[in-house]
Amino acid sequence: MRIGIAGMQTTELVAKSIKETLSDAGFESFYFKNNSKVTMADLIIVLGGDRGMRNYFHTALDVDTPVLGISESESNGVLAQIELKELPSYLNRIKNEDYVIEDVPRIGVKIDGKSTYPVLNDVAIFTSKSATLMEHVLRVNGEEVWHDSSDGVIISTPIGSSAYSLSAGGPVIFQAANVFGIISVNSLDITRRPIIVSDNSIIEIDEISSRLHCDVVLDGIDRLKINGKLEATKFTPPARIVRMKADSTAISALANKVKLAEELLAMPPSSKLLLKILEYEGSMTQKELASKTLLPDRTVRLAMKHLMEKGYIKRKVSMQDARQKIYEIAKLG
């Protein structure tokens, strides 16, 4: 069996170690930074946890090859279930192809008629400045569902329902459900509720207007300007993800997410923002968090102290620079 190893540049040293481990177990493997060698592999190992998985599928040209996500830390993962230290114990099962391949839905996105890369978690529309109202119309399969004014709109997959959507009041959707969730964030209409639609639906966010320009946010990473209309549909083909653990692991992760969402209600906004950034972006230094969130250094410092005391995040030494400390989501539950 030939195994390709993909990941962000910061994981190259780890990739070299994995390559040696695979070689000792009788696997042929290679490391690649683009999709040129994907078709040569029987299985792809993607490093970097959930963030690495999202990045991989944003640019993957060949998604027929199944992908196993690995996290270098002990953080919870929905896309990447396996921790790096666990990999050797799974090699015999990988060799015997004793695993399940799950087809994970993706959302195809068009912004003002132009296609972007598909997303695994969610696509959202917000104004360029937070807490600024945005007026919009939601249509599903051509029929108007609502005309609303809110802070923004989130369209999520079942996988993404336990991420940003959950913190905005959206429902938790089990991974096997063939649906998408739509959430109007902080709507002026207090009766507005999230809705669930078939993943075969054509979802349109149209007639978008605000006193500031609006952005589409793809998987919490890239922001692209939008002038008037977003279209979201099920993207084909889905992402093919290798599952080495039983479904109960994913359900347990969802349960932990629900518990965290309940506790988030009592947290200050700065703490919520830092948790969201760490979930989407992965491990970061305090300086990087301050730069990403645009919060004052003192606010970041106090929020990090609060989150560490509560056990939501942890601090460790950076593998790239032992002089630096990095922060990441702790393994809850």
- 132-147 residue pLDDT tens: 899 999 999 999 999 9
- For 147, the token pair is 């005309």
Mean pLDDT on 226-231: 95
154 in helix, strand or coil? strand
Q: How far apart are CA 156 and CA 168, in angstroms?
A: 11
214, pLDDT greater than 90: yes
Mean pLDDT of 202-224: 93
Q: For residue 134, what is the DSSP state?
A: E
- Tens of pLDDT, residue by residue over 18-48, are 889 999 999 999 887 665 556 688 999 998 8
Q: With the CA atoms of 21, 23, 28 and 29 taken in that order, what torsion angle do they form, in degrees rounded to the nearest 10?
A: 40
Of 266 and 284, which is predicted with more confidence?
284
Q: What whole-number distance in Å separates Cα of residue 322 and Cα of residue 208?
A: 47
Q: 251 pLDDT exceeds 60?
A: no
The helix (H) or strand (E) run that includes residue 216 is strand 214-218
More confident residue, 156 or 261: 156
Main-chain phi, psi angles of 263, to 5 degrees: -75, -25
What is residue 67's predicted lDDT score, i.e. its pLDDT?
Answer: 94
Q: For residue 180, name the pLDDT band (cuts at 50, 70, 90).
A: very high
Question: In this predicted structure, what is the pLDDT of residue 209?
Answer: 93
Residue 203 has pLDDT above 90, yes or no: yes
The pLDDT value recorded for residue 36 is 59
Question: Average pLDDT of 276-294?
Answer: 80
Average pLDDT value for the chain? 85
Q: Would you state the pLDDT for residue 306?
A: 87
Choose between 231 and 298: higher pLDDT. 231
pLDDT at 98: 92
Domains of the chain: 2-98 (3.40.50.10330), 105-237 (2.60.200.30), 267-329 (1.10.10.10)
Whether residue 249 is predicted with pLDDT greater than 50 in this model: the reply is no
pLDDT in tens, 94-121: 999 999 999 999 999 999 999 999 999 9
Residue among 191, 193, 189, 185 at smallest CA distance from 217: 185
Contact 22, 29 (CB under 8 A): yes
The answer to whether residue 333 scores a pLDDT higher than 50 is: no
3-class SS of residue 177: coil
pLDDT of residue 99: 92
Query: By mean pLDDT, which of 117-131, 210-224, 247-261 is the weakest?
Result: 247-261
pLDDT score at 49: 83
Whole-number pLDDT of residue 248: 47
* Residues 176-199, mean pLDDT to the nearest whole number: 93
Mean pLDDT for the stretch of residues 294-316: 86
Structure tokens, 53: 């998985």
**Residue 91 phi, psi dihedral angles, 5° rounding:** -65, -40
Rounded Cα distance, 286 and 292, in Å:
10
Q: Using an 8 Å Cβ cutoff, are 49 and 73 in contact?
A: yes
**At residue 332, does pLDDT exceed 80?**
no
Give the whole-angstrom CA distance, residue 91 versus residue 112. Answer: 46
* pLDDT score for 169: 81
